[in-house]
Structure 1
Amino acid sequence: MKYVIGIDLGTSAVKILLVNQSGEVVQEVSKSYALIQEKTGYNEQNPSDWVNQTIEGLSDILQDFNGNPEDIEGISFSGQMHGLVLLDEHNEVLRNAILWNDTRTTAECKEIEAVVGKKRLLDITKNPALEGFTLPKLLWVKKHEPEVFQKAAKFVLPKDYVRYKLTGKLHMDYSDAAGTLLLHVSKREWSEEICKLLQIPIELCPVLVDSHQEVGYVTEEIVKLTGLSPSTRVFAGGADNACGAIGAGILEEGKTLCSIGTSGVVLSYESSPDKDFHGKVHYFNHGAEAVYYTMGVTLSAGYSLTWFRDVFAKNQSFENLLSEITSVPIGANGLLFTPYLVGERTPHADASIRASFIGMDSSHEQKHFVRAVLEGITFSLQESIALFRKYGKRIDTIISIGGGAKSDEWLQIQADTFNAKVIRLASEQGAVMGAAMLAAYGCGWFKSLKACADEFLSVDRTFMPIQENVQQYQKLFSIYQEVYQNTKGLNESLVAFRK
């Protein structure tokens, strides 16, 4: 039996899967690392922590592996998007990585729009200037840490740095490059125009490769530290959302993904870069070759539920927390929640907006608040689906993955809110499975990623919308959409009081 390894470098942990040729998960390891938050809105990590924990995880996999290490034919990666890793001329890290959820770069986003122009930026990158992207982070370092910027020879994204430390080769794939705001998305090349306008040396940009492309082998040092074979082939991998799409089989027109993790994503397959969503949703290169995906983002999806538990129900498991939601009617007895705990991305690119509970009264118990949180997260994702439909996309089947797929009750809420068939996969591993599938395809096990998905993925259960519930959620969603506009000014006034 042959095997591949998928590595997903997340925000809180690295997850590693050993997968066989039938798509069965043989082993699974997760290793956590710390988040560095020096100020409000600042989110950084030490890249060495990613590398050390990845190596430790690979070592654990190999220690428990009963087969021949040479049978592990390939490794590929998925990783958190947008994070800035700056390297000097010797590829040594110059500062902590600035992560996707760092919001310090509002001024730099305004600078990008002013210098490049909003329309021209959309023409080239297909995306507006947002705090999470990599280019604003580069400009922030250039402005606030000029001595660091002057030493910079290359920038990469988080998983690219880990891959470099495993192979000694430095690259970036198109799906991650699309999230930098420096890639000409349709031409699949770095934008000299944007670099010149913002005085970013284009030499900082690494060599571009396809996600399934072989980029090297593990080094002798990694062989000694992990037990991997020196013949283990390494493939570029992709952005976490692109790999999540691959791992859920979003590889043809009409397929849509709903992923509820710390953040939430609604992602839909696009065969070309020609559609114009006017910057309302993200438009990125897929991990599959020469195709694309559109994506809406909720910044605090599963995080909203985690926050609620940690603050108001610290000793409860998520299972207990959700155990009574079926006894609560749709609308939680007139209680609404907007999940803007750290701002919002789609459709409101707003770093200042914050969450609200609307309609609280003395009749509400914990179970009502829990249902309201679930419904609020789902409504935020519905904002993206509504945008897709407004621009002519047909969405009738949605693959749901992540924390939102672990609860039957929440899956039914999704089906009713989205007014679409919602599917839970039998073995749902998300982005890390997508990374393993890229390795399997790269190793030549399958003629296409779709053929790999047909072999690796199967349906566990399907949830159909209940029309009576659909009608109630449509009314409630209209009310939910009013909350943003009615609280936007209040939240802007409160910014001065945030520490």
Structure 2
Amino acid sequence: MFVGIDLGTSAVKLLLMNENGKIEKIVSKEYPLYLPQPEWSEQNPDDWYAGTVAGIKELIQGFETKIKGVAVAGQMHGLVVLDKEDKVIRPAILWNDGRSKVQTDYLNNVIGKDKLSEYTANIAFAGFTAPKILWLKENEPQNFEKINKIMLPKDYIVYKLSGNFTTDYSDASGMLLLDVKSKKWSKEMLSICEINEEMLPKLYESYESVGVLSTDVALELGIKQKVEVAAGASDNAAAAIGTGITAGASCNISLGTSGTMFIPAYEFKADPNNALHSFAHADGYYHLMACMLSAASCNKWWMEDILNTKDYTKEQPNFDKLGFNEVFFLPYLMGERSPHNDTKARAAFIGMSMNTKREDMTQAVMEGVLFGLRDSLEVAKKLGIGFEKTTLCGGGAKSKLWRQMSADIMKLEVDLVETEEGPAYGAAILAGVACREFESVESACKALIKIKEHISVNQEAAKRYDEKYARFAKLYPALKGLFC
């Protein structure tokens, strides 16, 4: 059996998968998120590890002798720094932290986007790791001087489990420190950030074994046999694996806390305008990815914080209203990454009248998230990348209405996979490959991933949404100058 771990922003999710892909058990452990100042977002790495260990113990109870491999997928871009005694220097600065705007502007405008693209295939975003390192150097020099190891969130868990200081190419791609095309650390970026390669983890493919559970950890977990630990992957790459999206496949859209569009490829590709990220994939190849910072979290905010309800289904409009709503919602509750790269962007409702009802605004929130993702789809089309279908995952995929909206707004046939466990399931598959249970990631996906539902495009609704999207696309440029 194989343990797949998804280190998320609100909780760690763990699942136990057998060699046939069947999930035997799922466990989740929550931990706190700290927002000490506006635009700051932090967590304590030791909270992650405590939750992970407690979760593994609960997960494998009764199966201890059958565990063969473990892999961790996790939230991208976070900055975890350790001193020479391997102690965490300060709370981890997370992917959705916006404090490094000054450093991001410096990288993009002084170093230059062309240079960054040459060095890493990407430009700077406030969520990326390199701007966070520069922020630490400039604002907490005493902590910067203590740095002995720099790692990503999921790599902290791997380090604690195995004792090995490693990362994988998919997660490292989002640091703005990796030469993605060549799959090696960029000497130029290390120089800009005033760090050295010894501070950075050894690079692996996501499906490679980086070691085994340490003796102390195995003893604590009640495991006596050798258990392989895979390098693991970024949450988005692992989610793609969990839905069968490997090189040569179509696309995956995730409606999670953040929203992503994941486009796999055998060959390295780059967006010359840098609206899409160029990253390595967990299958050993590459992908283009769009990431919007607030997706299903917009709906959660609207339902729970504004409407004070958790009965999401009751609030949703009828299917016959798709494309007819005159209210728009800009989904920029925490700024935006793809394609605008604007930390100051903010959410807004537009188009309300005396006839606007509660359900119209609910519908606008759901539509706005998908319009935001369609912005990135249009960028992909301009690059000559075309596809006719996508898989859909994340919490938003559980909504029948959102599934149909996804097909109609994106004008893509939508497939739902039988096992909807995203990054944790993808991580378990990577663990299986690391243990040589499968020949490759692609062969594992073909053997394990099954489609359970297909959603076709409603052509009439799609036509209405085309017209509505054309209006939506004008809103951000019109309002950009008002955000502060």
Q: TM-score range by the shorter chain?
A: over 0.9
Residue of structure 1 aligned with 2:308, choices 314, 324, 336: 314
Instruction: From the superposition, tell whether residues 248 and 57 of structure 1 become closer, same or farther in structure 2 (CA, over 3 Å).
Output: same
Mapped pair 1:225 → 2:225: no
**Matches of 1:456 and 1:443 in 2, distance apart?**
16
- Whether contact under 8 Å (1:416, 1:467) holds in the other structure is yes
What's the TM-score once normalised by structure 1's chain length? 0.95
Residue of structure 2 aligned with 1:72, choices 60, 64, 67: 67
**What residue is the counterpart of 1:15 in the other structure?**
13
**What residue is the counterpart of 1:102 in the other structure?**
97
Instruction: From the superposition, tell whether residues 297 and 235 of structure 1 become closer, same or farther in structure 2 (CA, over 3 Å).
Output: same
Q: Classify the secondary structure of the residue corresponding to 1:50.
A: helix
* Residue range with higher mean Cα deviation, 271-280 or 360-369: 271-280
Match for 1:294: what amino acid? Answer: L
Match for 1:441: what amino acid? Answer: V
Residue of structure 2 aligned with 1:303, choices 297, 303, 315: 297
**What residue is the counterpart of 1:4 in the other structure?**
2
**What residue is the counterpart of 1:294 in the other structure?**
288
- Whether contact under 8 Å (1:325, 1:367) holds in the other structure is no
Residue correspondence of structure 1 range 21-420 to structure 2 within 5 A: 21-63=19-61, 65=62, 67=63, 69-289=64-284, 291-322=285-316, 324-326=317-319, 328-332=321-325, 334-420=326-412
**Matches of 1:258 and 1:229 in 2, distance apart?**
40
Match for 1:255: what amino acid? Answer: S
Match for 1:19: what amino acid? Answer: M
Q: Classify the secondary structure of the residue corresponding to 2:85.
A: coil
**Matches of 1:225 and 1:325 in 2, distance apart?**
52
Instruction: From the superposition, tell whether residues 329 and 214 of structure 1 become closer, same or farther in structure 2 (CA, over 3 Å).
Output: closer
Mapped pair 1:440 → 2:432: yes
**Matches of 1:31 and 1:164 in 2, distance apart?**
20
Instruction: From the superposition, tell whether residues 110 and 315 of structure 1 become closer, same or farther in structure 2 (CA, over 3 Å).
Output: closer
**Matches of 2:217 and 2:25 in 1, distance apart?**
19
Displacement of 1:260 after TM fit? Answer: 0.4
Instruction: From the superposition, tell whether residues 17 and 329 of structure 1 become closer, same or farther in structure 2 (CA, over 3 Å).
Output: closer
Match for 1:338: what amino acid? Answer: L
**Matches of 1:260 and 1:412 in 2, distance apart?**
13
Q: Classify the secondary structure of the residue corresponding to 1:117.
A: helix
- Whether contact under 8 Å (1:254, 1:395) holds in the other structure is no
**Matches of 1:237 and 1:22 in 2, distance apart?**
20
**Matches of 2:340 and 2:424 in 1, distance apart?**
29
Mapped pair 1:455 → 2:455: no
**Matches of 1:97 and 1:46 in 2, distance apart?**
6
Q: Classify the secondary structure of the residue corresponding to 1:469.
A: helix
**Matches of 1:274 and 1:293 in 2, distance apart?**
7
CA distances 1:406-464 after superposition (whole Å, capped 9, x unpaired): 12221111111111111111111111111000001111111111111122211111111
- Whether contact under 8 Å (2:119, 2:188) holds in the other structure is no
**Matches of 1:241 and 1:209 in 2, distance apart?**
17
Displacement of 1:404 after TM fit? Answer: 2.3
- Whether contact under 8 Å (1:341, 1:355) holds in the other structure is yes
Match for 2:108: what amino acid? Answer: E
- Number of aligned positions between the proteins: 484
**Matches of 1:346 and 1:113 in 2, distance apart?**
15
**Matches of 2:389 and 2:321 in 1, distance apart?**
27
RMSD over aligned CA atoms reads 1.3
Mapped pair 1:483 → 2:481: no
Q: Classify the secondary structure of the residue corresponding to 1:30.
A: strand
Instruction: From the superposition, tell whether residues 478 and 71 of structure 1 become closer, same or farther in structure 2 (CA, over 3 Å).
Output: same
* Percentage of pairs with the same residue: 37
Displacement of 1:275 after TM fit? Answer: 4.1
- Whether contact under 8 Å (1:218, 1:230) holds in the other structure is no
**Matches of 1:194 and 1:31 in 2, distance apart?**
36
Q: Classify the secondary structure of the residue corresponding to 2:341.
A: coil
CA distances 1:183-206 after superposition (whole Å, capped 9, x unpaired): 011111111112223423333222
**Matches of 1:316 and 1:13 in 2, distance apart?**
19
**Matches of 1:414 and 1:450 in 2, distance apart?**
26
- Whether contact under 8 Å (2:270, 2:278) holds in the other structure is no
**Matches of 1:387 and 1:115 in 2, distance apart?**
26
Displacement of 1:115 after TM fit? Answer: 4.5
Shift >6 Å, 4+ stretches: none
Q: Classify the secondary structure of the residue corresponding to 2:257.
A: coil
Match for 1:325: what amino acid? Answer: N
Displacement of 1:261 after TM fit? Answer: 0.4
